[in-house]
Every structure is written in C-alpha cells, then in structure tokens.
Structure 1
C-alpha cells in the first residue's frame, strides 16, 4: 500500500517504523511545523519530521490542512493515510484524498475517551483497562467505524507517560495489521457501540491538586497529568510541582494540605488519609527528592500547601 503517514510527537514513531517494517511504501509524511523548544527556544523539527528526514522521506509540514497542504497530499497519491497524534483536525475536503481514507490510531477503546487526551483521562478516572483502536476518520470527533482494538492493563503506579509509551508500541502493531488487512480487502469498519466518554485536552489548571479530595483521587490525578501538563500545588504564593506520590493509609491525623516532615518521609494530609511526597520541584529549582527539599526548610513546623 502507498501510505501517507501523519504524526508529530515521539509517540507516533513506533507506528511509522511498524508500517515500514510491514513493507508498505511511505509516500509522504505529514507533520506539524518546526517549533521552538527548550529554555533557549531553539526551532526544532518534530520527532516524526526528524525521523522522516533521516529516512529520506518526503515531508509535508503544516499546522492545518489548507489548499497547499491538500495539494501536496494529493500529489503523493496515497492509497491510505495512517494518522497517529498528528495534532490537527483533518478537514472534510481532505478526507477523500486517499483511496481508502484516513485510518487513525487512537489510544482508547472507543467510544470511551474520544478526544485529545484519552490516556490522561483514563488514568485520572481510575480505569483498570484501556487500549487502542484503529478507526476510519470522519468529520465527527473520533466517531468513525472501528477496524480493530487491543487492550492494555493500567498498573497501579502507571503515569500517563508510561502507559502511553507502552500503548505506542502495541498500538503500532495494531495499526500495521489494520493497514495489512485493508490492503487484502479482509476487514471492514464496525460502528462504535457502548458508553461514550470525552477526553478533552488538559489545561494547566487540570494539574492542580485539591487536597480536600480523597488520597486515591489525588494519586490518580497526579499520575494522570505526568508528564503533561504536570501536577502542582501552591506554597508561599508560588507554584510547587509534584511527582507521583505514595498512598499512606496508615496516617489519618493530618488535615488536608497539612505537611508532616519526618526523618525519612514527607507526608501531606488529604480528604481521606495521607500521601507521601517522593519528588518535588519548588519554583525556580530542579526536581529533587522530597526529603532533600524538606531538609532545606528553615521552619519545618506548620507547613501547609495552599
């Protein structure tokens, strides 16, 4: 099959490699334009663009499918388009360009968690099982018929970043198998059935920890927003970043947001029992062990998050 591959972040790379390994011809790669990264804001190609250039593949850089980008896609004459985390909507006018349409790899078991952040919402929600789906892209948001699915257990300590890394590899196999089956005329899409849930893109505010919530909900939220947009609270009027915490059901005498600094642990009260901080990042500093941060406090008594 002549495949147009559309993707931007590193999570899309396993799918690009899987399609190449399956013997499909990548006729072009569609990705977002170069963007400034790091503290020095150096303009940098996306991970997919960088890999495509290494492979000497034609690259189309566009933050939206306008007339110019659509013409470049049409010129590549793809039989099918495979899309993994491209980062922009495909307009109706472009959906008909590939003969077999656009096949999207989505990291949830559709129709659960339609939207931009399915893995994060799945972890925050406390799901025990998630997965990935391949489906035919249409105008609606993740509403098209499904070609295939695979499942993945969510571990108690998984962050969304860790879970997404696993799904990117197992999902890549699913995507390659789906394109193989389409090429062989051996698969057709099935209308989505089941409970619909939505997974909109998370904002910075979604990462804020509310200490009146139960410890389990706080644990899930912190893991769900790690790495993006990141978990945080306020201390001394400044944002204080948090890595995943440990549950401490043995400690129930702390008020929500109240800290207790012990020789080998830093505990915080919640709406149920305490949690133990593992790593923290005070404003203007690097990530460090919570106990190292606590040792540097001038006043260890009556510390309370805001």
Structure 2
C-alpha cells in the first residue's frame, strides 16, 4: 500500500519508523513547517521531518493542509492511505477524500474519552486508572470518526505525561501498522463511536498548570505529573515563578496548604491533606535541581509559603 505519513513531534516517530519497516511503501511525509527552537530561536525542522530525511523520504511542509500546491502534490502522490499521528493541523474534506482508504488517525486515548489535543495529560490529571490508544477513520468533526482498532494501557501511580505517552506511542505504532495491514487485506470494518461518555481534552494552558496547594495531596500529585514535562506545573514564591517536578505523597500532615519546610535532605509542602515531598524544582533562569539543593540557595521568610496560601 502507498502511504503518505502525517506527523510532527517525537511522539509520532515510533509510528513513522514502524511504517517504514512494514510491508507498506512510505512515499512522503507531511509535517508542520520549521519552527523556532533553542535559545537562538533558530528555525528547526520537526522531529518527523528529520527522521524522514534520514530515510530519504520526500518531506512536505505546507503552511496549511488546504494549501493548493500541497493538495496538488498529494494528488500526484496518489496515496492509498494517510496515517496521521499528532500532526497539529485540521484536515478538511477535500484532503480527506484524496486517498482511497482515507486518513487514519492514531489518538492516545480510548475514544470517545478525551477527544482533543491533550488526552494523556487530562487522563492523568483526572485520576483515570486506564487509558490507551485508538486508530480511527479521520472525519472533520474532532476525533469523532469510526474506530478501527483500540489498545488499553494501565496508568501507573507515578506516571508522568512523558512516561505514559512514550509507552502509548510505542504500542500505538504497532496498532497503527496492524490496522493498515488489515485495511489492505480488506478484512477490517470501522465501528461508530458510542454517543455517550464523551469527554474532551483541550490543550493545557500555562495558567491551568498553576498548582493549587489547597487541593488534596493526591490531586496536586496528579496535577504535577499530568503537566510534566509540558507546560510544567508551577507556583510562585515571593512573586517569582517556580516550576515543580513530580513529588512524593507523604504519610502524614505537618504543614498548612502551601507552607514549606526545607530540611537538609528534603523539602515538604503542605496540601489540604498530607504533605508532598518535592522532587525537582526549577527557579526562573536556573536549571532543574533537587529540591533540597534549590532550598539551600533560596531565601525564605519566617513562615515560608508559596504565594496565594494562608499565613
């Protein structure tokens, strides 16, 4: 089967590599245009673009998928199917109709739960015990197309978004290739999504990533893990933003919400229930470091507490 693959971030790389290694012919890759990266804000190709170039695969970088030149090239390539993983732009009907078997999307949730841009983050933050990945036929409505295949994955108690997404990208790539194999063999049927239990996962904003220390420890823990690595959970101390990495829930409560106890070996922060023992902390303009090292270089008041919490 002739394949044009659409994807952009590192999350999409396992699927691209799996398709390249499969029986199918990846004739081109569609990815987002080069974007500024690093301190110098140098225009840099996407991870998918770099991987495709290493394989000698043609790379298409339309500003929009509706771009006439891109549409013309897609018709010339005449793909049988376009698998898509975290591409990052909406695909309109005109493009969806070009491949014989349509566009098939690998999405990192068990649909119809968590339709949208941040399914893994939202699943962790909501306290879900199980998530997964779904391959479905792409339609113009957000993540609403009929399902071609699903896998499930347990969410571990210490999973961050990065760790869970890495597993889902790995297993999801195998699911994607299996689905495309069956599409070519003609022995698979798409099943409409249920119309109940639909939930949405909009992209996390920086403001949403702010920690509310007045919540229970388990909720703060989920919040931090769901925001790791991006956009990064944060709080403020004396008006300065501080990023907080995954923490450990303590067995007892010794502090009021947001209050800090900095010892030689650990730093504790109070919540509505038990304390949290901080892992890594990153102050503005500094590298991530162990919480105890951060505390040693930080000036605290008489009753140290993060901003916005009770005295």
Q: Give the TM-score normalised by the residue count of structure 2.
A: 0.96
Report the counterpart of residue 71 of structure 2 in structure 1. Answer: 70
Gaps of 5+ in 2: none
Q: Distance in 1 between matches of 2:63 and 2:238?
A: 39
Report the counterpart of residue 35 of structure 2 in structure 1. Answer: 35
Across the two proteins, how many residue pairs are aligned to each other? Answer: 305
Give the SS at the match of 2:207. helix
With over 3 angstroms needed to count, the CA separation of the structure-2 counterparts of 1:180 and 1:235, relative to structure 1, is same
Report the counterpart of residue 261 of structure 1 in structure 2. Answer: 262
Report the counterpart of residue 93 of structure 2 in structure 1. Answer: 92
After superposition, the C-alpha distances for 1:119-152 in whole angstroms (9 at most, x for unaligned) are 0001101111100000000011000000000111
Conserved 8 A contact 1:267-1:275:
yes
Q: Distance in 2 between matches of 1:121 and 1:70?
A: 34
After TM superposition, give the deviation of residue 253 of structure 1 in Å.
3.0
Report the counterpart of residue 109 of structure 2 in structure 1. Answer: 108
Deviates more, 1:125-134 or 1:13-22: 13-22
After TM superposition, give the deviation of residue 262 of structure 1 in Å.
2.0
User: Which among 208, 217, 227 is matched to residue 206 of structure 1?
Assistant: 208
Conserved 8 A contact 1:63-1:88:
no
Report the counterpart of residue 126 of structure 1 in structure 2. Answer: 127
Residues 1:3 and 2:3 aligned together: yes
After TM superposition, give the deviation of residue 297 of structure 1 in Å.
3.0
Residues 1:235 and 2:237 aligned together: yes
Report the counterpart of residue 181 of structure 2 in structure 1. Answer: 180
With over 3 angstroms needed to count, the CA separation of the structure-2 counterparts of 1:299 and 1:105, relative to structure 1, is closer
Q: Distance in 2 between matches of 1:300 and 1:289?
A: 21
Report the counterpart of residue 147 of structure 1 in structure 2. Answer: 148
Report the counterpart of residue 52 of structure 1 in structure 2. Answer: 52
After TM superposition, give the deviation of residue 64 of structure 1 in Å.
1.6
After superposition, the C-alpha distances for 1:217-251 in whole angstroms (9 at most, x for unaligned) are 0000100010111110011111111100110132x
After TM superposition, give the deviation of residue 300 of structure 1 in Å.
6.2
After TM superposition, give the deviation of residue 268 of structure 1 in Å.
0.5
Conserved 8 A contact 1:261-1:300:
no
Report the counterpart of residue 79 of structure 1 in structure 2. Answer: 80
Gaps of 5+ in 1: none
Deviates more, 1:106-115 or 1:268-277: 268-277
After superposition, the C-alpha distances for 1:38-57 in whole angstroms (9 at most, x for unaligned) are 11111110010001111111
With over 3 angstroms needed to count, the CA separation of the structure-2 counterparts of 1:253 and 1:131, relative to structure 1, is same
> Root-mean-square deviation (CA), in Å?
1.0
